[in-house]
Structure 1
Amino acid sequence: MEWTESGRIISVRGHGETSAIVEILTRDHGRHAGLVRGGRSRSMRPVLQPGNRVQAHWRARLDEHLGNFQIEAEDLSAGALMEDPLALSGLNAACAVAVAGLPEREAHPAVADGFEVLVSSLDESGVWPAIYVQWEAGLLADLGYGLDLRKCAATGHTDDLVYVSPRTGRAVSSGAGEPYKDKLLALPGFMTGQGALRSGDVQAGLILTGYFLERRVLWPSDRVLPEARLRMIDRLAAAGMV
């Protein structure tokens, strides 16, 4: 069994004295792991960094085996983020959520494409946090747990959508939701294309997507949101960007 595809590294962990187990997010093979022999060598360490784009050739005797990767660098721009703690926290959060939320070896091309857009935007501090929120919303949708933000669940109206029901994941308008607003989740306008990004919108978006990631994707498998995501939120708050 073998295949070759480009993808972004999302996880690297040591294996033995010289090798590493690497997880890559690809369009056609999803989140896929493999052993890189010599992956802890001086020449390979700059390549095997989360966020780097590589071409991976995977080979195994049987499909269910871990298999081996042969890795060639394509885009090592993730290394530049080491000097930007805020952007690095966003990259680490996205990688950790991809590892925690995506099933192994299951293709989710829309999630992989969105991840590519997110990584490409990390040098734009005023842009990437909102893209991150949209990427998590897209991940939920691709896993079959998408939020229904098209119209109000109570009235059917498509305007003034400012809440989401935590039970159904459906949007609720301001008027219909007013009596229950303490029990509803805030819906920032940028997630529905109804208005520009405002102060507090990123935080509301992260609370919204985090709520459904936990309850619909992670909790059924006895998992929680990754620490890397919490650290990202802390850094965004410290920078006044939520």
Structure 2
Amino acid sequence: MEWTGEALLIGVRRHGETSLIAEAMVAGRGRCLGLVRGGRSSRHAATLQPGNTVQLTWRARLEDHLGTFSVELLQARAAGLIADRRRLYLAQLVCEHLHLLPERDPHDRLLAMALELIDNAPDGVALARFELALLDELGFGLDLESCAATGATADLTHVSPRTGRAVSRAAAEPYKDRLLALPSFLAARGNASPDDLRDAFRLTGHFLDRHVWSARQIEAPPTREPLIFMLTQG
């Protein structure tokens, strides 16, 4: 079996003496892994860097096998990322988030959002929306369309930490200390203050921890908190 596709490299790990296992997000195919024979050689070093866009050709005898990758560099980003710590942390966080997706399950919306994040100046609003979309595509999407208590669709200011449903300002008033703040830019388009961003990342972080990190007994990505600190400095 064989296919060819454009992909974002999101990780590599050593395999044997000379090879690597590459992990990539492939348009139309999702998160895919493959063996790159001789991948640890200097010839492949510049190509097999997370954050690069590559052309992959995957070959295997059976569809459920690991298979092998042939790799051709299309867009090198690694050098530019290393030169900018915020962009580097952002790319590393995005790749860590994409690791959470099931293998071989297409998630082209997230791939497009990831590429936009990596290719542009670090943007806290876009990153918070990416984490919200990640929760949705993992099956843990938040319901921010209407108030859980009243059904109102306007003036939604909080989210239940238990159900992930929005709560209106009036309904939230007696329980504000138990609810998570919902910054308006997540429910509608708009700009965000540093406090709005902190609230947004507190919100997405709560549900990522509850449904993903703690549930899978894994640690939150180490670059997330330093990056949020950098993105929320006024």
Common fold by TM > 0.5:
yes
2:204 to 195, 206, 209: 209
Give the aligned residue type for 2:223.
Answer: A
SS in 1 for 2:42: coil
SS in 1 for 2:191: coil
Instruction: Out of 188-197 and 218-227, give the one that drifted further.
Output: 218-227
Tell me, in whole angstroms, the C-alpha distance in 2 between the residues paired with 1:165 and 1:85.
34
Aligned counterpart, 1:156:
151
For the pair 1:13 / 2:13, whether they are aligned, the reply is: yes
Correspondence 1:1-242 to 2 at 5 A = 1-99=1-99, 101-121=100-120, 124-125=121-122, 128-193=123-188, 195-229=190-224, 233-238=225-230, 240-241=232-233
SS in 2 for 1:66: coil
Fraction of identical pairs, as percent: 44
Equivalent pairs counted in the alignment come to: 234
Tell me, in whole angstroms, the C-alpha distance in 1 between the residues paired with 2:59 and 2:22.
14
The answer as to whether partners of 1:96 and 1:228 remain within 8 angstroms in 2 is no
SS in 2 for 1:97: helix
Tell me, in whole angstroms, the C-alpha distance in 2 between the residues paired with 1:78 and 1:141.
29
Runs (5+) with no aligned partner, structure 2: none
Give the aligned residue type for 1:109.
Answer: D
TM-score (norm 2): 0.92
Note the C-alpha offset of 1:97.
1.6
SS in 1 for 2:194: coil
Note the C-alpha offset of 1:206.
1.4
The answer as to whether partners of 2:156 and 2:169 remain within 8 angstroms in 1 is yes
TM-score (norm 1): 0.90
Deviation per residue, 1:21-50 (Å, 9 max, x gap): 110012322111111112122221111111
Give the aligned residue type for 1:181.
Answer: K
Deviation per residue, 1:77-100 (Å, 9 max, x gap): 23211110111001101111211x
Runs (5+) with no aligned partner, structure 1: none
Tell me, in whole angstroms, the C-alpha distance in 1 between the residues paired with 2:32 and 2:226.
30
